[in-house]
Amino acid sequence: MKVDYRTTLYKDDSIRMIEAVKHHFCCEQMGEALDDNFIGFGEFIDSILNQDTAVNIAVCHPWPEGAAWDFTQINFCPFCAAPIKTEQISK
């Protein structure tokens, strides 16, 4: 799979947000995993200011006060073993 992403900058050139623009899926299962929201680009759950350029698996840790999410980078598709790449396409 390959993900094209773009970075939005503040006026002082610090990175404001990184967001996926287009997903090039390697297999049908990867598309379903993104639809089901357990694999995604960056910190894709409960994050409005993503700073992460990796494709991650999300793990939920439920607490009485609310859920916390951990994101673990994956470098290969867990379904078809294709390499996962990300590329910045514009600023």
The Cα–Cα gap between 81 and 60 comes to: 24
Dist CA 3 CA 88 (whole Å): 9
Of 15, 27, 58, 74, the one binding Zn ion by CB under 5 A? 27
81: which 2 tokens?
A: 């073993």
Q: How far is the CB of 51 from Zn ion (least distance, A)?
A: 26
| Size of the chain, expressed as the number of residues it contains | 91
- Of the listed pieces 4-12, 32-40, 49-57, 72-80, which binds Zn ion according to CB under 5 A? 72-80
Compute the least distance from the CB of residue 82 to Zn ion, in Å. 5
- Positions touching Zn ion (CB under 5 A) are 26-27, 30, 77, 79-80, 82
